[in-house]
A and B are shown apart, each in its own frame.
Chain A
Amino acid sequence: MRSYKMLVSAMLAAGIVAGIGSMNVLADEITFTDDAGREITLEKPLEKVVVFNKFNSEIIRAVGKVDTIVGVDANTAQDTEYWNGWDDSMVVANSQSDIDFEKVAALEPDAVILPSNGDYEGCISNLESFGIQTIVVTGWQNNGFDKQIDIIGKAFDVEDKAKEYIDFCQDQVDLLAEKLKDVEPVSVYLENSGDYCTCLPGSGWNDMVSMGGGVNIFNDIDFATSDQSKGSVHSYEVSSEEIVARNPQAIFINIYDSAAKPGTSIYVAPDPDSMNATLQAVADRPGWSAIDAVKNGKVYGISAFAGNGCFKIVGATYIAKYLYPEEMADVNPDDFFKAWLEDWQGVSYVSGHAAQLQ
């Protein structure tokens, strides 16, 4: 009898030890699904990463892990001031689809983080043998930003901070929805990346307009069934007559600083005089004096940097403020922009990223 009890106790003890032991193993490992639907398993939180696409870097910085970044793409590194000193020495890829795998491998990072439209397949096949994990995070995807932040939170083991960031963003989204819920939507023409080029449904710019309470006058164009040679959903060429005919109540021009690489935007605010000159040139376009927005001086410029800020919530806030001054009387977009820059990105607030035509 006594030996039987001893046997059972021993087995129980062994079972408990094994259980604790395995739980220890499980506790150390991190598993999650990345934005490409891939199951990722990490032995420990990421300590050294290469990141492509600046919006991914922004998320990582927001959760306090910017020091883990050892390599970026050229479009990110150009904004030296914004990234507190990152320059060409940090560059290991021309863009997220043009990656120098040798340079990445030489840095010996734990992982490469890049968006779903980047060459992640190339990363997997080239870097697997180096033990470098490829994780797909699509930071520029404004819809479902919580999912992207969540992946970062898990991968770096800072889920609490990630949750805080999600809440910060979501609160502002909810605030805008609340303030704008009863407004009469104002029709908006948004111009992006080229004269007479606008955004269409499917583009984050279009969503930004909607989030700001506006209605894109070209939201009836379905890119998939239209003449695709006219560009993309983000920048689609339309005719001047059509814009005049649709008579927007407000016009927003995305301002791209000439100092930045084409199609990208930087932290440094555009020069106010040249920004105003740009807006004036738009208002002076032949035939545009007939447009309500021009008649009423509702021509606004927002730098693409600010527009893109915090999943375009910054841009949406500015749009809401410009379109509905009464409903937004107690909301100052500069405050939100400042909070995002200073509290979450660790850089000083700069003014001048948004202005109305003088």
Chain B
Amino acid sequence: MKERLLAYNKRKWQLLFACCLLLLVLMVVSLCLGSSGIPLSDTMQAILARLLPGFFPVVNETNYNIVWQLRLPRIFLAVIAGAGLSVSGTVMQALTRNPLVSPFTVGISNAAAFGASLAILLGASLFGASQAAISAGAFICAVLCAVFVYFISNRKNGSTVRLILIGTAMTYLFSAMTNTIQYIINDEKLSSVLHWTFGSFSKATPSQALFLFGLLFVVMVIFMKNSWVLDAMSSGSDDVVKTLGIDVNKKRIILGLITVFLTACIISMCGVIGFVGIVGPHMARIATGAEHKFLIPFSAFTGGLLILVSDTAGRILFSPIVMPVGIVVAYVGVPIFLHLILSKKEMYFK
């Protein structure tokens, strides 16, 4: 029996490795696609010139810069943001034992949108130095909202249902507050607000991508170390999990706050990108089951893949208009999601 388990595990690691390779390949493919119509050979040349500078000279400097300065930060950020949101969704679902929970169930996304709108209302513009103010506003509001929800729902050692309900209430509250701002704001700023809300990577900078990469790496290490705890916490009610020796409340708070922090950082840099926080984990669960040792890295893969595909499609399909990724991800993800639900047996029930 245990040999079979070990064999299964080995298969899962192999699958994961293969998927990572697939993701890398897709990133390279995406690197070759862009609105300026650089021929494939030129793109490959630019890639090789960077990776193996001794062997491949830079043939066309403009194309080289387009590939590495304009396309790469964007692609990198897209994959990291998608991975981060999906992993956050996975952990939140484990903490709340609810497969329909996403980072946004706590109300974070609407809180972030409100924070950004408020910053724009108070004068920050979408361009230039005050861009940081918008990100800061989004981040602060997201974290405040999450802390509030946790604090309230934890007061009486609350069950997770309470947390979800309060989070939903916050979602509506912040949505109303954002709508209020949109109503009173003038036209020029309104377009800024909407532009930010839809989520996009067009303002990706290498430093942002690197920061998020580092953050995601640290967070994933923490989550992986806690993968057993997450398995246990998602397996039964709080009382039973406590008898296994786990400090349920403490773990929930700490892991939950880390999730919130990661999500808030991503939203504040990339705008609101919904849906991947629910679909990413679900897709991963169908492939590898509910064991978090595999689920966490796999959901990082599915999330990164989903956003990469969506962003690339949004860049290419409607040129020169660049469709925000927040919109495209729903179009891309929903059919996949429906197909998965309807064709495969569900990996969970309730």
Contacts and interface: CB of A to CB of B under 8 A. Distances in A.
Nearest to B67: A102
A229 to B, nearest CB: 5
A228 B127 contact: no
Interface stretch (A120-128, A152-160, A173-181, A267-275): A120-128
Interface string B323-349: 000000000000000000000000000
A232 interface: yes
B186 A92 contact: no
Contact of A232 (B62, B127, B187): B187
B320 A103 contact: yes
B54 interface: no
Contact of A101 (B37, B38, B70, B185): B70
B36 A103 contact: yes
B203 interface: yes
A105 B36 contact: yes
Nearest to B191: A97
Q: Is the interface of B mostly helix, strand, loop or mixed?
A: loop
A94 B321 contact: yes
A223 B205 CA distance: 36
Interface in A216-256: 223, 227-229, 231-232, 235
B35 A102 contact: yes
Chain A CB within 10 A, most for which of B65, B126, B128, B320: B320
B322 interface: yes
Contacts of A335: none
A129 B65 contact: yes
B193 to A, nearest CB: 13
A206 to B, nearest CB: 16
A231 B186 contact: yes
A106 B37 contact: yes
Interface string A260-300: 00000000000000000000000000000000000000000
B188 interface: yes
Contacts of A235: 187
B319 A106 contact: no
B62 A106 contact: yes
Contact of B203 (A92, A102, A122): A122
Contact of B35 (A103, A119, A227, A228): A103
A121 B128 contact: yes
B52 interface: no
Given A102-B34, A121-B128, A229-B183, A108 B188 contact: no
Contact of A231 (B69, B127, B187): B187
Interface string B64-98: 01100111000000000000000000000000000
A102 B66 contact: yes
B34 A108 contact: no
Interface in A115-164: 119-122, 125-126, 129-130
Which 8 residue pairs are nearest across A and B when measured between Cβ atoms? A106-B36, A228-B186, A102-B36, A121-B128, A121-B127, A100-B320, A229-B184, A232-B187
Given A121-B127, A125-B205, A229 B69 contact: no
